A and B are shown apart, each in its own frame.
Chain A
């Protein structure tokens, strides 16, 4: 008897079934800009993964002889082409741009996972339990938001010393607020829905209701925020490298290359131009895909 009641009560629960996924994919595939964005992102990921195969030169090997600051299209003594020219230490710029995708994507992905998980948990708890817990968590969010992000990040990294792990940790720990807010508002409305009320009435505990019934339905806005936030994190990673507080040389980073390029701005325009283009293209691709994802999943989402 009780089994029947449960089956009936839970019948209206929206489930992410296969059919729904197919509908979603079909709708997404009609958005050309989103597909273009996705293609760009996939290309950048392939570039990062296959960097050793794709790169024509070693990105770190220096040549202080006659290879310094050569313009794009330069052919060296051995007849090898340097399509994007070379930098002030005689390193091939294309190779460095290709390898630069690695720290950018690594930081972008790892930081988004960390802040996404923290934000998801905070948002779930805050929205579901409400009251005091909610007050405290949302004040914490306000405190977090009050800081000029870059300034706080460079202050903390300045104290701890720059490294890949520190950067990921600092960005990850301090970017949870957007996720928490969007998940919280989703939970606030989900909490009142019949399938949640039914699950509670049938004796499911808070934990079970949160994980089994609310979380899957709050994933949609979370995913959109995560995608768009990845673009922001990649810009921040580059900004930190630009200021000398990112992944340290000789590892090539787009921001670090830009900082070098700034020094040689009046003599070697290509040094600052190409790494910046790489950032722009990557971030644009992610933004286009994220926008398309949002418009497909939930056009009313304010992110």
Chain B
């Protein structure tokens, strides 16, 4: 167990190191970070001075080292647009993004797990078909279109819910539904297929043959084992949700990291872009580390095989 923990921790560190390198590379893609950072009106003299001041003439590895040392201290440079440290700007918006992603995940779990179980237990009934079709549509529907259609219907036509901004619960509903639908669909399908697989196994048949009635079979025996893939995908889905927040926050003017980073890209405010990408990726890595630790408790076999 200890070696597993240490190995997993080490892997996460390696991944974070890789993440930092990719984030560093973003600025160097065109070969000249000075031109990326400066406005197109800058004179060649400006560019030269800026290059000198920022150390862009140093060897590549030295520049990366400086970036990494800065990133570890939370220093990604100043936001070009806001004149504040980029890191602080991003951290300020994190709670809003977590609120949205958390609400979307909660919604997804509350809807999808019961739907998946019912679908599996009542296989090939009308209920199963309805849930399967909804899940299929949910998986095929682009987030941004869903968001716009919800605004059209519920905000513009019926005027039931606000279409933008962050505030009370009524502000959270539309963005959370929009962001959560894809995840809901995916977990519904996964729960259904996971349950079907487990329900066909010998020990379930044994339990049934011994006269255990249906509901306890489902709850005590089947769900516990079907839960393992679900827990795994929750960690991965968090990545989808954090990524999806970029679009959803833009549509609903939700003041989170996603919207901040899209605006930063439009404004060529790359320190903010780098800080956003780095922090969201770090969040993802940390959450997945936690998820892995949780499911080693659910399924002790994993400790041995990984």
Contact = CB atoms under 8 A, between A and B. Distances in A.
B246 A154 contact: yes
Contacts of A150: 243-244, 246-247
Contact of A288 (B136, B148, B156): B136
A287 interface: yes
B64 interface: no
A148 B26 contact: no
B18 interface: yes
A279 B143 CA distance: 11
B143 to A, nearest CB: 7
A148 to B, nearest CB: 3
Interface in A223-278: 231, 235, 238-239, 242-245, 255, 258, 261-262, 265-266, 269, 272-273, 275-276
Contact of A148 (B148, B274, B284): B284
B277 A151 contact: yes
A158 B242 CA distance: 19
A284 interface: yes
A140 interface: yes
Contacts of A280: 137, 140-142, 145
B187 interface: no
Interface residues of B, number: 52
Would you list the 9 A-B pairs with minimal beta carbon distance, nearest first? A148-B243, A276-B145, A143-B18, A158-B265, A284-B140, A283-B140, A146-B281, A148-B242, A150-B243
Contacts of B140: 231, 280, 283-284, 287
B250 A276 contact: no
Contact of B148 (A145, A244, A258): A258
Contacts of A266: 156
A284 B137 contact: yes
A127 B144 CA distance: 38
A58 interface: no
Contact of A139 (B18, B29, B148): B18
B277 A152 contact: yes
A275 B148 CA distance: 12
B62 interface: no
Contacts of B15: 139, 142-143, 146
